[in-house]
Amino acid sequence: MAAAAASYSKKMKRIKLIKGDITKLAVDVIVNAANSSLLGGGGVDGAIHRAGGKAILDDCIKIRNRQGGCKTGEAVITTAGKLPAKHVIHTVGPVWDSSKKEKMKTLLANCYRNSLQLAVDNHLATIAFPNISTGIYGYPKELAAETAVHEVLDFLDKNQSIDFMTFVCFDVENYHLYARILGN
């Protein structure tokens, strides 16, 4: 039991929770809650594209030309353009469908797992996540937060390459949900 508690404590030291603007973070990589077209959109996707400038869109167009966009649950990486981060990982969260809860959970979990693996594969040690799928995609915020925290803790337990991971909440409601789940 003591070993499990020590492991949990060690993982928690690698997780940070903030309320703020993900486009302002100077980390190795920020994650974008993208749409499958990769051409920008609303919410965090639009904010990242606006703040990062044309270089991000140019990289996204190259990816689209090569593979036709990004499927739900998958992730791709681009430059960060004018952002203080070095890279952007774009992941496409699921559009909520209450009749397919388990499938939704699996797809959202894949967003976190695939983004973290892509960061490791590209030797990126600091990563920041927004709240994926909880805006216009309608995923229930509490369910999304539980999935996000579970996937990140599980990944950090198995992989030491990530120095720290930040959950960035734009709104107070998500911030309080994450704080409660993380035990802050």
Q: Where are the domains of the chain?
A: 14-182
- Mean pLDDT score, 1-7: 48
Q: Rounded distance, CA 62 to CA 58, Å?
A: 6
8 Å CB contact between 89 and 129: no
State the pLDDT at residue 124: 98
State the pLDDT at residue 11: 60
State the pLDDT at residue 132: 97
Structure tokens at 29: 């990589």
pLDDT tier, 1 (very low <50, low <70, confident <90, very high otherwise): low
Place of tokens 């190795």: 28
**pLDDT, tens digit, 9 for 90 and up, residues 69-93:** 999 999 999 999 999 999 999 999 9
CATH superfamily of 14-182: Leucine Aminopeptidase, subunit E, domain 1 (3.40.220.10)
**pLDDT, tens digit, 9 for 90 and up, residues 144-178:** 999 999 999 999 999 999 999 999 999 999 999 99
Alpha carbon 146 to chain centroid distance? 13
The mean pLDDT of the chain is: 93
Q: At 126, which helix (H) or strand (E)?
A: strand 126-129
Query: pTM (2 decimals)?
Result: 0.93
Of the candidates 5, 82, 85, 76, the one whose C-alpha atom is nearest the C-alpha of residue 36 is 76
Q: Rounded distance, CA 109 to CA 150, Å?
A: 9
Task: Please list the active-site residues.
Answer: 45
- Assess whether pLDDT exceeds 90 at residue 184: no
